[in-house]
Structure 1
Amino acid sequence: MLKRIFYFSLLIFLLSLSIIHISPPLLATTPTNLSNTKIDWWLVRAKNHQTPGFNDKLSFKLSDYDAFAVGDTSRPVIYLTFDEGYENGYTSKILDVLKETDTKAMFFVTLPYLNDNPDLIKRMYDEGHLVCNHSNHHKSMPTLTANPENFNAEFTTVSDAYTAITGSPMPHFFRPPMGHYSRCSLAMTQALGYKTIFWSFAYCDWKPEAQPNPSAAKQLMCDNLHNGAIYLLHAVSKTNTEVLGDFINTAKSMGYTFELLPEN
């Protein structure tokens, strides 16, 4: 009888070890002590490949909320990112160029983009790029902080759709739509386990009907290279698609490397 009890207890113990612990999802609540005044992300370009100037009137440090506009500024490294709200027929070619130049990039995607382009998402994932969160509805995040359930859903609906396509969890990087943020929205984003990723280079490339001159665009991209630069490019841009390969090769010839932001 004692043997039976022993073996039964041992079996229960071993079964308990095999159970996978599933942690409940993180939830962001609205901090009542933090300002929710909307702030627009902006920068002032610098000369001679120096780090641009950013908003110097903030009463807090972005890094306190895991928010960043540059990566490792101690060496010549570039972080190439693309925002994807809808497909304009260029992403496949962009992926071709990245593959040809052995370059990895980060794609910030909305839920409609995920739902409409699962094959492209799978290709991004399979080819070693990071597919990151750009929200469900592409709304100004400070407008959502009063309703934590809606705020949280802007993240979880996207990450769940990504996992359904790739079978893997979504990297915890977030780009706030339109660069809108508040101290409150940053804190709530951080509570969900995400890093907020702004940028140190961007230009007017998002209007398909008013595309920049390719030669001028490439020159602007190269002139603003600096250590740790985070480049924001829009994948709907014909110009970006045309000059991407030349830009990457020129940057590499100047001593820059292209990397992904570290997740930890």
Structure 2
Amino acid sequence: MNRQAIVLLLTLITAFGAAHGHADANSMPSSAKKRSYYEERGDIVWEVPTDNKVIALTFDDGPHKEHTAQILNLLQQYDARATFFVVGSRVEKFPELVARALDEGHEIGNHSYSHPPFYNIGADALRKELTKTQDAIYQAAGIRSVLFRPPGGRYNDAIVSASKETGMLTVLWSWHQDTLDWRKPGVNAIVRTVLKNARNGDIVLMHDFVPGSDQTVEALKTILPELKERGFSFVTVSELLSYHEKSHKHIEVND
């Protein structure tokens, strides 16, 4: 991602937050804050409402020497872009895969350095996890991510704040698009989850690092051509955010 693209994305992220309003981060205890609180503020993204037939495939926990490469091959075959939320310690092992993904038009997101239980670690340790991964991504591909996905999808004020302080937007996934592929549920189960629930603006959760399982790779061999046949375009999360911004501008113009 070049400097101009990064500036554009940061502008979109700022606009996304502004469009959802602002509130006092200390106005209520974290335990009482539900999805709607963070979503309305634009602090966390689960999906992007849009009339456009676009969908964002995301892959967590990699890179994996074999599976990430196989997924990249499939994405290339179907002219699909995706977002890879990478673990910093694994980026250091396979930097060439991160560089390849970026070169082929995909997006790299931050998924912590060691994949710890984020909800319970201290603020300093949390920030260290993010910055070490940012540094690993930079060493591998020459960019720093603007997107962060907390391990396990856990979130609170401290996690959101650390993400912002590191220059990133927190991104989760559409609740109806959690494939649970890390549990190795079977290829057909992964396929059914994605195809049965596919909606415009979805963010789909999958993993390119699942030890001892190639189910995600095999499922993509059905998911990609079927969604393409239905008219979906496969975009990165940042590209998906731009569809939200287009919709927001359209509403403003017609008000």
Q: How would you bin the TM-score normalised by the shorter chain?
A: 0.7 to 0.9
Determine the C-alpha separation between the residues in 2 that align with 1:141 and 1:38. 18
CA RMSD of aligned residues (A): 2.4
* Counterpart position of 2:41: 64
The answer to whether structure 1 residue 140 and structure 2 residue 130 are counterparts is: no
Determine the C-alpha separation between the residues in 1 that align with 2:40 and 2:236. 18
Counterpart of 2:57 (choices 80, 85, 106) is 80
Counterpart of 2:69 (choices 92, 110, 115) is 92
Give the unaligned 5+ runs of structure 1.
Answer: 1-30, 40-56
Give the C-alpha shift of residue 262 in structure 1.
2.4
Change (3 A) 1:63 1:107: farther
* Counterpart position of 1:184: 158
Structure with bigger helix share is: 2
The answer to whether structure 1 residue 230 and structure 2 residue 203 are counterparts is: yes
Of 65-74 and 219-228, more deviation after overlay is shown by 65-74
Determine the C-alpha separation between the residues in 1 that align with 2:193 and 2:42. 31
Within a 5 Å distance, the mapping from 1:184-203 to structure 2 comes to 184-200=158-174, 201-203=177-179
Determine the C-alpha separation between the residues in 2 that align with 1:114 and 1:34. 37
CA deviations on 1:22-70 (whole Å, 9 max, x unpaired) are: xxxxxxxxx776634498xxxxxxxxxxxxxxxxx55723241531000
Q: Quick one: percent identity of the two aligned structures?
A: 30
The structure whose Rg is larger is 1
* Counterpart position of 1:16: none
Within a 5 Å distance, the mapping from 1:1-264 to structure 2 comes to 35-37=29-31, 57-58=34-35, 60-85=37-62, 87=64, 89-144=66-121, 146-147=122-123, 149-166=124-141, 168-200=142-174, 201-207=177-183, 211-235=184-208, 236=210, 237-262=213-238
- How does the TM-score come out when normalised to structure 2? 0.74
Determine the C-alpha separation between the residues in 1 that align with 2:40 and 2:168. 12
State the aligned residue count. Answer: 211
Give the unaligned 5+ runs of structure 2.
Answer: 1-24, 243-255
CA deviations on 1:138-196 (whole Å, 9 max, x unpaired) are: 1233323x43x322211111111111122x22221000100111133223322332111
Q: Which runs of 4+ in 1 moved over 4 A?
A: 31-34
SS in structure 1 of the partner of residue 203 of structure 2: strand
* Letter in structure 2 aligned against 1:220: T
